[in-house]
Structure 1
Amino acid sequence: MNKPLTAKDFATDQEVRWCPGCGDYAILKCVQKTLADVQADPDQTVFVSGIGCSSRFPYYMNAYGFHTIHGRAPTFATGLKIANPDLDVWIVTGDGDGLSIGGNHLLHVLRRNVDVQVLLFNNEIYGLTKGQYSPTSRPGTRSPSTPSGSIDSPVSPGAFALGAGARFIARGVDTDTKNLSPVLSAAREFKGAAFVEIFQNCIVYNKDVFEDFVNKKQAKETQLHVQHGQPLLFASGTKGLKLNTSTLTLEIVDVGDNHTPVSEILVHDETNRGIAQMLLTLPKEGFPMPLGVIYRAPTTSFDDAFWSHHPTQGKRTGKVADALRKGSVWKKD
């Protein structure tokens, strides 16, 4: 009987090179632990990245990996999954790589529902190219490219994914491995494109930008960990989100004796696109940050649909090496 795999079995002998204190270290450890927990097969696992700090990820995973072109990781991953549907394909990208130059490629892998996991590390800044503002940077962000403060309206990765047609959308925090690991497991189990936004601290160029909700001393008040079929409660159950039926918006209410009963708190339904839309677009000021699986509505994946209409039904009819040695594919009858 083979010995069970551990997190160390998914680590390579390469020196991990990110800035000391970077949130990427915690995410790497969490992914390695998660793959060990589910006993993934390294020989059937592939990590594909584009360009950016997060894109060094494949070097540190004991699996197959492709460090590809800026913003094009979804394209490579789609080809891999179609060519070999049995592979477990992960895309690692950042807010710049995935939502700027790669925005169109990310959109299409989500709308097609290709069976891959997309991990988008969001630190609201360009780290690799020395701190320019990114598509997710908040208004007022001071950077080498916006010394007077950004005036751009930022992209919400989750709302973008929902608008693109993603069927699985989740959020996590880099250092909160206790809650991030189950999210990664759920993403891996999902048959289709699973989009996970991970809030990641860039300690050099955008330090503590998420401190308003990741600070452990305030986390109970500032984080809302959603669970399917459970009321949207936070602050140790003393507060919750109630649907205002007049405005069709969510509002914070006190819960308990002499306050709003739990029965009036909105129950999370991860299959409900409307609830997902409200949670993903909550104002940052005054509301807790929704974390966990926010939307999960399975449907046929792109690769399953592709092979179901293909004459070979996904079965191999030849070898790539033979095709390459056959000569020109263009032959006149």
Structure 2
Amino acid sequence: MNEMTTITTAKDWASDQEVRWCPGCGDYAVLKAVQRTMPDLGVAREKTVFVSGIGCSSRFPYYMSSYGFHTIHGRAPAFATGIKLANPELDVWIITGDGDALSIGGNHTMHILRRNLDCQILLFNNEIYGLTKGQYSPTSRVGTRSPSTPFGSVDRPVTPCMFALGSGARFVARGIDVHKNLPDVLKAAHAHRGASFVEIYQNCVVYNDDVFAGFTNREVAADKQLWLKAGEKMLFANGTKGLALDVERLALKVVEADDPAVIVHDPRNKGIAAMLIAMPESFPMALGVIYESPAPTFDSAVAEQNAKVSEGKKPDLQALVSKGQSWMVGKEPREL
């Protein structure tokens, strides 16, 4: 990461490319949130890289005035790993979607999380394949009607944050595309050293409009959104309700705010984090930083190992090329 603070504005991070998403797409809000957040991070554009795969969200690097790679389907984590290992000073962001990251790219997402590469992973979840015209995705709900499931999906959907937690992620968070708190979630992800996984609920106005209305609509937001803050009680419904642990059932329960059993959020508690991620629809949606427990990063371990094995040695490319089985090709062809 960059040690020197660089002064920029949101406009400095906006490229000269025409932003081309469907009118009303949640991607616009996420793009603006990131562009507004980058100046607060004090990072340099020339040391920042956005890497994407394939999908609507994957156009993102074109719209950031920094370095970027628009790669192949599901393989953004592989490219990001190579970029970070080649130049550990770079600040690497992965932009992906629920289809890109959890179907063809599921194994790549799993491995970058368990390896704990120092990067930020923003997963735009609209529960549909938007770019390829609305087929159901790994996160689509049971009953979702789409061109590929005309009678309704019978698949049980993936829960992205649970997938991340099970893959060994050390930072798991959630945000909403148009919510004012999204920049704070992005800042927390950037401050974490290691793989930061952020699921962003993003509305697809064309193929899956208002799928998250049950907790994003203004009328229900207070009762259906629980914004977590480390060291603070888990309160919602304008501070009138809270979450407590039902010891007998080993599950969460909703209680009155003045109940002494209301849980104080500790992001290091993996067990409670799993419960927060898996809460039923009748409960509020857990948002913000759900789990954070730092651990050594993959890139730092590789750098340390390389330094150790090369100690006292001089670089010799010719010796490396000639090592093992090698031969010289003559100018004149040999008879067979």
**TM-score (normalizing by structure 1):** 0.92
- Work out the CA distance in 2 between the residues paired with 1:96 and 1:201: 15
Residue 255 of structure 1, CA deviation: 2.8
CA contact (8 A) 1:169 1:194 kept: yes
Match of 1:185 in 2: 187
* Cα distance per residue 1:208-232 (max 9 Å; x no partner): 1000000122211010001111111
> Partner of 2:198: helix, strand, or coil?
strand
Residue 312 of structure 1, CA deviation: 6.7
- Work out the CA distance in 2 between the residues paired with 1:173 and 1:85: 30
Residue 252 of structure 1, CA deviation: 1.0
Whether 1:82 aligns to 2:85 is yes
Whether 1:43 aligns to 2:46 is yes
- Work out the CA distance in 2 between the residues paired with 1:192 and 1:44: 17
Whether 1:282 aligns to 2:276 is no
- Work out the CA distance in 1 between the residues paired with 2:108 and 2:49: 18
The 10-residue stretch of structure 1 (62-71 or 215-224) with the greater mean CA deviation from structure 2? 215-224
Q: How many correspondences in the alignment?
A: 320
Residue 313 of structure 1, CA deviation: 8.7
- Work out the CA distance in 1 between the residues paired with 2:236 and 2:51: 36
* Pair 1:12–1:313, CA change in 2 (3 A): farther
Whether 1:91 aligns to 2:94 is yes
- Matched letter for residue 246 of structure 2: N
- Matched letter for residue 209 of structure 1: V
Residue 189 of structure 1, CA deviation: 1.1
- Work out the CA distance in 1 between the residues paired with 2:279 and 2:175: 16
Whether 1:59 aligns to 2:55 is no
Residue 314 of structure 1, CA deviation: 10
**TM-score (normalizing by structure 2):** 0.91
- Work out the CA distance in 2 between the residues paired with 1:94 and 1:330: 44
From 230, 233, 239, the equivalent of 1:231 is 233
> Partner of 1:309: helix, strand, or coil?
helix
- Work out the CA distance in 2 between the residues paired with 1:144 and 1:136: 16
Q: CA RMSD in A?
A: 2.2
Structure 2's unaligned 5+ residue stretches are 328-336
* Cα distance per residue 1:47-91 (max 9 Å; x no partner): 000000000000000000000010000000001111111100000
* Pair 1:3–1:110, CA change in 2 (3 A): closer
State the identity %: 62
Whether 1:250 aligns to 2:252 is yes
- Work out the CA distance in 1 between the residues paired with 2:190 and 2:68: 17
* Pair 1:3–1:158, CA change in 2 (3 A): closer
- Work out the CA distance in 1 between the residues paired with 2:278 and 2:176: 18
Match of 1:166 in 2: 169
CA contact (8 A) 2:6 2:42 kept: no
Moved over 6 A (4+): 312-315
Which protein is bigger by CA-based radius of gyration?
Answer: 2
- Work out the CA distance in 2 between the residues paired with 1:26 and 1:314: 47
Structure 1's unaligned 5+ residue stretches are none
